[in-house]
Amino acid sequence: MKEGQWYPGNMARAVTRLRQDIKIVDLVVELLDARIPKSSHNPAFAGLVGGKKHLVLLHKADRAEDAATESWLSHYKEAGTPAMAFSVHNKSYLTGLLNYLKKEEKNLRSGRLKRPLRMIIVGIPNVGKSTMINYFVNKSVTKTGNQPGITRGRQWIRITPGLELLDTPGILWPKIDEETSWPLAVVGAIPPSRIDIQQLVQRLIAFYIERGKEKLITERYSGIAVGSAEKMLADIGLLHGCLLPEGKVDLNRSSALLLRDFQGGLLGQVTLEFPQA
Ligand SMILES: Nc1nc2c(ncn2[C@@H]2O[C@H](COP(=O)(O)OP(=O)(O)OP(=O)(O)O)[C@@H](O)[C@H]2O)c(=O)[nH]1
Ligand SMILES: [Mg+2]
């Protein structure tokens, strides 16, 4: 992938905007993808957040391996960074977040300022920011018995009288190396049109094999035997209808099929990155 290809001007503008928005909030909630907490973390984040309070949410935890998510949470705990798992498909995560926010609201109120706690949700494209906010607004409104949230000005959403939040567009950073770009592409933060999809998917299959998870692939695609990533991708194409008019396997199509299935959660709960021991 060519450097800077996926860093369009609008993303640079979004960063400038974000810098301004962060100045007026109390809490920055960083949504990471629970499958790739390392690669989905913006290396410029510390600089952007400045001294603001920071909460990490390992989002889409329903797609990640539970044990891996636990070890990431211990990792953040050791580093002194507040972190929680989250998913819009598992209500149990919501309570933890609401309790955390209630505490933060209280801290704010015990200070001199009498105004709502303002929080901003940031993260890479497609990590689930807008979905998480919609879910959170609906659930917390019913939970607190309040009026539905109202949008004020620039997407500021008042959730309760004491809590306001702001959605932001997904951002990436200008320099992403290969080790980071492949996980980002696998989870859909970088569009497939910008990448070599065959290489990407072969790498994903190889990862499943390395971690002993190849059964998740062979169970999904009947008739596929475990072999090299290249062979498995070709067989999936051959047996699952990805053929060119002359009868050859269309590897781009079989790659796209597998990637779509991974992103749709059809290839199991899989974490791609683990905290360094
Ligand atoms: N499995 C799973 N999928 C989720 C979850 N939250 C969001 N998604 C899916 O993730 C995809 C992206 O969601 P969005 O809310 O549009 O992501 P975003 O971060 O706002 O994206 P941008 O605005 O483009 O930066 C959608 O297909 C959602 O359904 C979750 O907790 N679990
Ligand atoms: Mg969004």
Residue closest by Cα to atom 7 of ligand 1: 128
Query: Probe ligand 1: pick from 33, 97, 126, max atoms within 8 Å of CB?
Result: 126
Q: In terms of residue numbers, what domain contains 242?
A: 196-263
Tell me which residues have their CB closer than 6 angstroms to ligand 1. 59-60, 62-63, 87-89, 123, 125-132, 169-170, 265
Q: What span, in angstroms and rounded, lies between the C-alpha atoms of 142 and 136?
A: 10
- The ligand minimizing its distance to the Cα of 88 is 1
pLDDT-above-90 percentage for the chain: 65
The Cα-based distances of 125 to 70, 111, 261 in angstroms read 24, 35, 19
Radius of gyration for the chain, computed over Cα atoms and rounded to the nearest angstrom? 21
**Are residues 54 and 113 located together in one domain of the fold?**
yes
Q: How confident is the model over 155-166, as a mean pLDDT?
A: 83
Confidence band for 277, pLDDT divided at 50, 70 and 90: low
The number of domains in the chain is 2
Distance 76 CA to ligand 2 centre (A): 25
Confidence band for 12, pLDDT divided at 50, 70 and 90: confident
184 alpha-carbon distance from chain centroid:
9
Structure tokens at 254: 């079989």
Distance 15 CA to ligand 2 centre (A): 15
Q: What is the CATH number of the domain that holds 63?
A: 3.40.50.300
Residue 173 is assigned to a structural domain of this protein: no
- The mean of the pLDDT values for the chain is 89
Asked whether the predicted pLDDT for residue 147 surpasses 80, the reply is no
The Cα-based distances of 21 to 26, 51, 56, 155, 161 in angstroms read 11, 14, 18, 12, 20
Q: How confident is the model over 218-246, as a mean pLDDT?
A: 95
Question: What digits encode the pLDDT tens for the residues 93-108?
Answer: 999 999 999 898 888 7
Residue 210 is assigned to a structural domain of this protein: yes
- Closest ligand 1 atom number to CA of residue 134: 15
Give, as residue ranges, everything with CB less than 5 Å from ion ligand 2: 129-130
Residue holding tokens 């047996």? Answer: 239
pLDDT value at position 111? 67
CB atoms within 10 A of CB 64: 24
Start-to-end Cα distance in the chain: 30
**Are residues 158 and 201 located together in one domain of the fold?**
no
pLDDT value at position 156? 79
Residue 271 is assigned to a structural domain of this protein: no
Residue closest by Cα to atom 21 of ligand 1: 126
Asked whether the predicted pLDDT for residue 216 surpasses 90, the reply is yes
User: What is the value of pTM for the model shown?
Assistant: 0.92
**Are residues 236 and 138 located together in one domain of the fold?**
no
pLDDT value at position 178? 86
Structure tokens at 196: 């070599």
Secondary structure E strands in the chain: 27-33, 53-59, 83-85, 117-123, 150-152, 156-160, 163-166
Which of 152-156, 162-166, 207-211, 258-262 bottoms out in mean pLDDT, i.e. has the lowest?
A: 152-156
Residue holding tokens 């953040």? Answer: 76
Question: What digits encode the pLDDT tens for the residues 114-140?
Answer: 788 999 999 999 999 989 998 988 877
Question: What digits encode the pLDDT tens for the residues 44-86?
Answer: 888 889 889 999 999 999 999 999 999 999 999 999 999 999 9
> Of 140 and 222, which is predicted with more confidence?
222
Residue closest by Cα to atom 6 of ligand 1: 128
